[in-house]
Structure 1
Amino acid sequence: MTITFITGANKGLGRETARRLVELGHTVIVGARDPEQGASVAEALGARFVRIDVTDDASVTAAAADVAAHESRIDVLINNAGISGPHDDPAGLTAAGARAVFDVNLFGVIRTTTAFLPLLRRSAEPVIVNVSSGMGSFAVTHDPARVESSVVSPLYTASKAALTMLTTQYAKALKDIRVNAADPGYTATDLNAHSGPQTVTEGTDAIVRLATEPSDAGTGRFIDRHGPVDW
């Protein structure tokens, strides 16, 4: 039985990923900051809820301890929790605002990955999937044929570019774990006021693929639902 822990799994891409993986036979642990929403989603999907706030060291440590006590290991960690940050003229950016976005989108991944590494290393085929974005890709955001090229979101894009690079560094260093990044694409979620043309099911295609592919599929990759993403 594959045991999968997903952060930010109470709504949007995280919830849909949890639903699809439960259907595929995974034992899914719904990680979310809001206990009421998280517990409700877990019950509806046939999963288990564990509270986690990826911006809080104590919360992340407690979540890992909870999983260690109940499941003893995880096979797949999906770092999905994320926030969008301001869509503003860069002249209005502040260091405090940047810290808030990076604290979830990058530092939260680092906190969670570090805390859950001992649990992953109890798996025969451990996997980490980082939910990044084409918005952090130089190639995608400079392609006039892509909607991402018209969006100004300095902190979100910078945090996702950093996350993709972090993914490649984890992949190089963690030889015993398959580590990849997924670009969901422009998907209708709360993150963009449901303006994206893709459904959440389409948006989770790359995430689910990375979470379920064979052990020899490769590490250090960045893919969307159609294949590799240029960076």
Structure 2
Amino acid sequence: MSRISVRGFAVASATAVTTVGAVVGVASGDTQPSNDNFEATAADTTLLADIPAGQQAQVQTASLTQQADAQAYAADVTAKKSAEESARLQAAKDAKSKKEAAEAKAEAAAEAKAKAKAKAEAEAKEREEEKQATASRSATRDASSFAAKGSYTVAEVQAMARQMVPGDQFQCFSNIVNHESTWNYQAQNPSSGAYGLVQALPGSKMSSAGADWQTNPATQIKWGLNYMDERYGSPCGAWSFWQANNWY
């Protein structure tokens, strides 16, 4: 049998790997080289012929086992890298989700804080307005504090009203009086008998505020203010009703 180099030959049958070198092909019979360059020239080349016939099969089996182990190792490395990449991507996705959730929570907390602040400010403003309104009401003059006169101009009557009606209610009171009597404290409706600034019907109702109800605008203002407060809660409540019905 001729000495055939294991390295670099294609053979007719099985595949084997030398114990020290590369994967090779060997033939069970004689094989002719297709190129002179494939002849064994290196001293370190393991020759299949150098291996006893009884061990050649073992060498081939060991070589195939090494191939399988190498492929399995490569597959494990690839699978490990794939798993690590998947884990990295999932970790990044989880981190992003946590960040978005944290941002949403922070935004909701900020919005709730802003609403609470706005509510507190609105309540504080409402309390301050009520405080001012209370102070304004307490500062108003009573009808008896005005000296009686024989007659009064519209400007004088309006000045009385400004001093007797709470500041936040004066405009509503003024709107009603302007529609009812144009600030004429002696105005009388010839058909109904309504009388005075607020057109009390009958006019004698105003006697509950003072006996001089026919001649004293302050008495009429006092009665009209009490009437609006008792029936509508305030002059502005009365004005809202008047706008809807053209009477109050």
Above 0.5 in TM-score?
no
Larger Rg over CA atoms: 2
Q: TM-score, normalised by structure 2?
A: 0.23
- Structure with more of its chain in helix, by fraction: 2
- Structure with more of its chain in strand, by fraction: 1
